[in-house]
């Protein structure tokens, strides 16, 4: 791996960690973990001092984000949104270039926190009144996706209770590294290696790679929690790490979890079997 490859791998990893934020962790633990990685990258000469200081600044911004605008761009942003709406035809379809351009403008404003959250939501509503669904028959309602959206809108992962190591075997290129059990959720960390695929397949519902079940029949609703391609092996295999998050948390009586990927399954024991 060249110095450039090492640098890009470090940037991808830090970007994933920063994007995930605390994810239920205590903020002090998150800062300490982030600092450890930065110090290690600096000591290994993967990153210079200026670069690591920039990442420390990004981390502080992420932790201090309490919903208020981070930039005093309110007037220019309003003008740009007004212009984007004015440039739209009276009614456009969701997949037209004009609609996609407006989606991109509003999508760029949200992570910048350039407008208060209520103003951003108001613009999103105004945008929706100008954009029609794609022509043709409507697809059938995906009830599972609706339940997933509702469940995650009200999800509160809470505190991390414990971490259960995953089994050593790798199935279809994917190994479960660990399962993090929170008060209100579970997070499955995975490691994927493949010569044929650059990224693991998604499951039947959007952005989630894994299926989760337990011995109590609990229905788990998952979503992708982020991932990062770390490297390419000398044999040309892609190496990817990531996580999938699920609600609800496994019930207290559950003894094992079954984690599925690409038609393969592994089991993770949560408690010893009762005799």
pLDDT given for residue 273 in this prediction? 47
Could you write out the three-class secondary structure of 209-257? Answer: CCEEEECCCCCCEEEEEEEEEEEECCCCCEEEEEEEEEECCCCCCCCEE
The answer to whether position 145 is within a domain reads no
Mean pLDDT of the chain: 77
Does the pLDDT of residue 138 top 60, yes or no?
no
What three-state secondary structure class fits 25? coil
Range of the domain at 220: 160-269
Residue 18 structure tokens = 């920063």
Q: Are residues 42 and 125 in the same domain?
A: no
Per-residue pLDDT averaged across 171-195, rounded? 93
152 in any annotated domain: no
- 66 versus 232: which is more confidently predicted? 232
Question: Is residue 139 one of the residues assigned to a domain?
Answer: no
Give pLDDT, residue 235. Answer: 85
List all residues 6 or more positions away from 71 whose beta carbon is below 8 Å from its beta carbon: 112, 113, 114
**Low-confidence winner among 70-74, 86-90, 228-232, 255-259 (lowest mean pLDDT):** 70-74
Indicate whether 29 and 60 sit together in one domain: yes
| pLDDT confidence band for 179 (50 / 70 / 90) | very high
| Residue 137 in domain | no
SS3 content of the chain, % helix, strand, coil (to 5): 35, 25, 40
Is 148 a domain residue?
A: no
Whether residues 117 and 27 fall in one domain: no
275: confidence class by pLDDT, cuts 50, 70, 90: very low
Residues 11-46 pLDDT 10s: 888 877 766 666 666 777 878 888 888 888 888 888
- The model's pLDDT over 227-252, given as tens digits with 9 standing for 90+, comes to 888 888 888 888 999 999 999 999 98
- 29 and 87 in a single domain? The answer is no
Domain count for the chain? 3
Q: Are 182 and 23 in contact (CB under 8 A)?
A: no
Write out pLDDT tens, residues 190-229.
Answer: 999 998 888 888 875 557 889 999 999 999 988 887 788 8
pLDDT at res. 204: 57
Q: Between these two residues, 179 and 79, which has the higher pLDDT value?
A: 179
Give the pLDDT confidence of 79-100 residue by residue, as tens digits: 776 676 666 655 555 556 666 6
The strand pair at 92-93 and 131-132 is best described as parallel
What is the pLDDT at residue 215?
Answer: 94
Question: What is the value of pTM for the model shown?
Answer: 0.50
Output the pLDDT for position 205. Answer: 57
Residue 175 belongs to a domain with what CATH number?
A: 2.60.40
């Amino acid at each position: 791996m060249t110095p450039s490859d090492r640098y890009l791998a470090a940037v991808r990893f830090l970007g994933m960690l920063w994007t995930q934020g605390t994810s239920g962790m205590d903020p002090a633990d998150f800062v300490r973990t982030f600092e450890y990685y930065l110090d290690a990258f600096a000591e290994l000469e993967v990153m210079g001092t200026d670069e690591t200081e920039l990442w420390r600044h990004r981390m502080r911004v992420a932790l201090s984000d309490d919903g208020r605008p981070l930039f005093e761009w309110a007037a220019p942003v309003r003008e740009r949104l007004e212009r984007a709406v004015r440039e739209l035809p009276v009614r456009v379809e969701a997949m037209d270039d004009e609609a996609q351009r407006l989606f991109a403008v509003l999508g760029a404003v949200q992570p910048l926190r350039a407008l208060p959250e209520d103003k951003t939501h108001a613009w999103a509503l105004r945008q929706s009144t100008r954009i029609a669904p794609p022509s043709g028959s409507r697809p059938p309602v995906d009830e599972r996706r609706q339940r997933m959206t509702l469940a995650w809108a009200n999800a509160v992962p809470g505190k991390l209770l414990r971490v259960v190591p995953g089994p050593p075997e790798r199935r279809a290129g994917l190994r479960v590294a660990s399962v993090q059990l929170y008060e209100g959720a579970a997070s499955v960390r995975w490691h994927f290696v493949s010569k044929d695929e650059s990224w693991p397949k998604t499951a039947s519902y959007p952005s989630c790679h894994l299926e989760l079940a337990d011995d109590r029949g609990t229905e788990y609703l998952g979503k992708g929690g982020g991932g990062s391609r770390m490297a390419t092996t000398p044999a040309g295999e892609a190496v990817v790490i990531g996580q999938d998050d699920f609600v609800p948390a496994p019930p207290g009586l559950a003894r094992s979890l079954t984690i599925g990927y690409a038609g393969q399954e592994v089991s993770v024991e949560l408690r010893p079997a009762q005799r």
